[in-house]
Structure 1
Amino acid sequence: MNNNHHQTFLQDLAWRGLVYQKTNGIERALQPGTTMYWGFDLTGESLHIGHLLGVVVLRRALNYGMRVIPMPAGGTTLIGDPSGKDAERPLLSKQIIARNRRMLTKQLLQLLPGKPPEVRVVDNADWLTKIGFIEFQREVGKYFPINTMLEKESVKTRLEREQGMSFAEFSYQLLQAYDFLVLFEKYKCTVQIAGSDQWGNMVQGVELIRKRLGKQAYALSWPLIVNPVTGKKFGKTEEGESVWLDPAKTHPFKFYQFFINCDDDMAPMLLRYFSFKSKNEIERIEQLWNTDRGSRLLQKELAYELTAFVHGKIIANRAQTITSILFEQNVKQLTLADISFVKQALPYATISSSNTFSLEDALVTLGLSCSKSESKRLIAQNGAQDTVLFGTYHVIRKGKREYGIIEIT
């Protein structure tokens, strides 16, 4: 991983387009030895690619000699963050939150190697569940004017739409501000980072530290990732499914495909955001790609690097190899190990050896066509093919890029 130490951490983030808003003087704060934190609620049992940018920014900070605190926030998850939400989320049980925290902490420690004080995973439940209501009001509540709280985007939007907001959600911003205060006092954490939807909450924390302690803290946000052409939020497949970092929830081959298939409007931005390559390397890749976009060089670099970061190089190599075999339609080059890996990620079915089946049947069974008549039409137009491998596997291709596997048992 490149440290790019000829530029500062802030310059590196700015060049990548990752500085959306920042508080004054943060340049002085982002130095080796500085501690920064990024918190997120425990709404799922795995990190997903919506979290990946936060992890990558922390990993970059580590490369620049900073200390990082990723915070799976069990305490605030008990309430639910109203930012960007049209309606109040159903409350999660303490058992589900505890399970999610265990699983996400394990993922974080794999992606952010290091021990305290370099990497310290904390949970705000450790302090939020212990402070009494009256104590919280005295320590935090009295520093927040109601008019400022009502001006917050997440509050205004909900009230304007007359959807209302519970007091629990309304007070969420105070809880996040208090988190920053606790981390500042306990671990000398002076910087909070997050996506731009959290900006208001982060600034509240900076203000609370200034009012309570008379000290300076800082905040930095990155832009929310949207397709510059369609305006669609990044993070879900075409089918609307989340892309998870847990291989049991999103197969690594599908993870790789998500990035290799990202369109030309998004790819350069995503490479700058997510890659650990240096400015020079990325600019060289962009130049080559611009001379031949059909090569998908930029998408290939992005897909390989992120799959290797999340799932390891061995799996990234396998995903890369299988993708080029299938894309170039050299199906006979697939090994048994390739098939057993990729069959979990493609449409897959087993058929008893006592049954006969045709290519028409196979296309319907795998969901690659809706009916036998559609299958017949595909076959007549040379739009489908059956390749038998190792006597037991039928690799079925539809069009140029859709595949499924039938195993004879």
Structure 2
Amino acid sequence: MQKNIIDELSWRGLIKNKVPGIENQLQNPTTIYVGFDPTSDSLHLGSLVPIIILIHFQKMGHKSLILIGEGTGFIGDPSGKKNRRIFLTQEMLKKNTESIKNQILILLKSHSQKIELLNNIDWIKNISFLEFIRKIGKYFTVNYMISKETVKKRINDQKNGISFTEFSYSLIQGYDFLYLNKIKNCLLQIGGSDQWGNIITGIELIRKKTKKKAYGLTFPLITKSNGIKFGKSEKGENIWLDKNKTSPYKFYQFWINISDFEIEKYIKIYTFFSKEEINKLIIKHRKNTNKRFLQKKLAYEITKWIHGNKISEEIIKITNILFNKKNETFQSLNKDTLVSIYNHIPHMNISCKEFQKGIFLLDILKKSDFFDSKSEANRALKSNSIFLNKIPIKKNILLQKNNVIKNKYIIFQFGKKEFFIIKIE
């Protein structure tokens, strides 16, 4: 080992909790695993963190496993959840499993990493309920189970409570760790900080059943601006890796708009640059934070990883065009550029017939989904926050041919960051 993996993860801010003695274990090649339940058909930016950690482990000579929890997906992890999960069908779980598996393979291929993928349905389906509660359940008291923070919170919630199904989740995840310990000699499980209780259950199960020492490590959760974690089954907006759920343009803009306070944290978490390289980047950024050097660097690197070099270059090009502060309209844009803009930002089609009949600006704004009503759109007009092809618009005008770029496109801007394009055909 040329580097100490714990030191490497620590300076990157990738360690929240760890089991004592883990440093000594990691002096030797160790098998590590992380699990993903297929509760959605896509991973999100929070899901990238454990994959990044496994790549770090892999590069330092350890063996990494990724477990897709099609079996545990039938139940759903109650960790961090206030309400009971909605059960997914077997068909949906299989579909999600295949989709997530393909995403992971592409992510790992970009870093030339061959990390083994497993599916816990392969062994969970072979154990009966009676066998499970007899062979596994006997090692844990109810007192131990309800002492878990996740369970304790839900039990005290008179309205929602916790179902027996969710209550059993921790034991099943613990069984996964036991199984991987047996067949793969897996000694370390990693997960988000909300997984600490589940990880400890697995460690305890291994200790009680085999007398072996196992380890756990958690990383801080990546949260949205409201403090809620990014998660496949969380309500509200996520930043997905699937381009059909979060467009590459929107994905790129997320990173561009990260605050200066957070960007120094994220450049360490989401890139593989060395400590020396990152320190140089941070120094350069601090000299003129208005240029958003770090944001642009991270946005490019991670968009290239997730969506490929060609798309990331396209996104940078149209971002520079859309956010160009010079007093230029979009009328000079060529056809290929307009097509690229249309493909990457929110858009809508309007028929030539509908346009020729006459359509007002407010009708377009309402259809764009950026506003819930015409009155809300009208208030935006009056507050001078609506632009048509970079020209500020202050009233509800009837759109004319002279508003159309290359006889086909009109680009709208709301405030400083939101863009929308319509195509007339």
> Structure 1 counterpart of 2:203, which letter?
V
Deviation at 1:264, TM superposition (A): 2.5
CA contact 1:29–1:191 (8 Å) conserved in 2: no
1:58 aligns with 2:83: no
The aligned runs of 1:218-237 (5 Å cut-off) are 218-226=215-223, 232-235=227-230
Deviation at 1:32, TM superposition (A): 6.7
Residue 180 of structure 1 corresponds to 177
> Structure 2 counterpart of 1:94, which letter?
Q
Cα deviation 1:12-69 (Å, max 9, x = unaligned): 1100111100011111333574221101211101111221212221222222232211
Query: 1 CA distance for matches of 2:332 and 2:314?
Result: 13
Query: 1 CA distance for matches of 2:169 and 2:417?
Result: 46
Cα deviation 1:344-382 (Å, max 9, x = unaligned): 443323334453468846555545674568547739995
Q: Give SS of 1:68's match.
A: strand
Residue 420 of structure 2 corresponds to 404
1:130 aligns with 2:129: no
Q: Give SS of 1:350's match.
A: strand
When normalised by structure 2's length, the TM-score is: 0.85
> Structure 2 counterpart of 1:383, which letter?
P
CA contact 1:383–1:399 (8 Å) conserved in 2: no
Give the stretch that moved more between structures: 399-408 or 163-172.
399-408
Residue 236 of structure 2 corresponds to 240
- C-alpha spacing 1:64/1:289, structure 2 compared with 1 (3 Å): same
The aligned runs of 1:24-43 (5 Å cut-off) are 24-30=20-26, 33-43=29-39
Query: 2 CA distance for matches of 1:196 and 1:377?
Result: 44
CA contact 2:385–2:415 (8 Å) conserved in 1: no
1:302 corresponds, among 298, 307, 327, to 298
Residue 348 of structure 2 corresponds to 349
Residue 398 of structure 2 corresponds to none
- C-alpha spacing 1:352/1:59, structure 2 compared with 1 (3 Å): same
Residue 325 of structure 1 corresponds to 321
CA contact 1:332–1:387 (8 Å) conserved in 2: no
1:378 corresponds, among 378, 384, 392, to 384
Give the stretch that moved more between structures: 41-50 or 335-344.
335-344
- C-alpha spacing 1:153/1:280, structure 2 compared with 1 (3 Å): same
- C-alpha spacing 1:224/1:400, structure 2 compared with 1 (3 Å): closer
CA contact 2:413–2:420 (8 Å) conserved in 1: yes
Query: 1 CA distance for matches of 2:333 and 2:53?
Result: 37
The aligned runs of 1:382-397 (5 Å cut-off) are 383-384=392-393, 389-397=405-413
Query: 2 CA distance for matches of 1:114 and 1:349?
Result: 33
Residue 16 of structure 1 corresponds to 12
Residue 268 of structure 2 corresponds to 272
Listed as ranges, the gaps of 5+ residues in structure 2 are 395-401
Query: 1 CA distance for matches of 2:136 and 2:2?
Result: 41
Query: 1 CA distance for matches of 2:199 and 2:244?
Result: 34
- C-alpha spacing 1:338/1:63, structure 2 compared with 1 (3 Å): farther
The aligned runs of 1:105-116 (5 Å cut-off) are 105-113=101-109
Computed over aligned residues only, the root mean square deviation of the Cα atoms, in angstroms, reads 2.9
Deviation at 1:231, TM superposition (A): 5.9
CA contact 1:363–1:375 (8 Å) conserved in 2: no
Listed as ranges, the gaps of 5+ residues in structure 1 are none
1:71 aligns with 2:67: yes
> Structure 1 counterpart of 2:417, which letter?
R
Residue 91 of structure 1 corresponds to 87
When normalised by structure 1's length, the TM-score is: 0.88
Residue 397 of structure 2 corresponds to none
> Structure 1 counterpart of 2:245, which letter?
K
Query: 2 CA distance for matches of 1:123 and 1:187?
Result: 14
Q: Provide the aligned length of Structure 1 versus Structure 2.
A: 400
Q: Give SS of 1:69's match.
A: strand
Query: 1 CA distance for matches of 2:411 and 2:16?
Result: 47
Query: 1 CA distance for matches of 2:403 and 2:258?
Result: 28
1:158 corresponds, among 151, 154, 161, to 154
- C-alpha spacing 1:224/1:130, structure 2 compared with 1 (3 Å): same
1:340 aligns with 2:339: yes
Deviation at 1:402, TM superposition (A): 3.0
2:194 corresponds, among 189, 192, 197, to 197
Deviation at 1:291, TM superposition (A): 2.1
CA contact 1:74–1:97 (8 Å) conserved in 2: yes
Q: Give SS of 2:218's match.
A: strand
Q: Give SS of 1:395's match.
A: strand
Deviation at 1:259, TM superposition (A): 1.3
2:246 corresponds, among 231, 250, 256, to 250
- C-alpha spacing 1:379/1:95, structure 2 compared with 1 (3 Å): closer
Deviation at 1:184, TM superposition (A): 0.9
CA contact 2:37–2:72 (8 Å) conserved in 1: yes
> Structure 2 counterpart of 1:264, which letter?
D
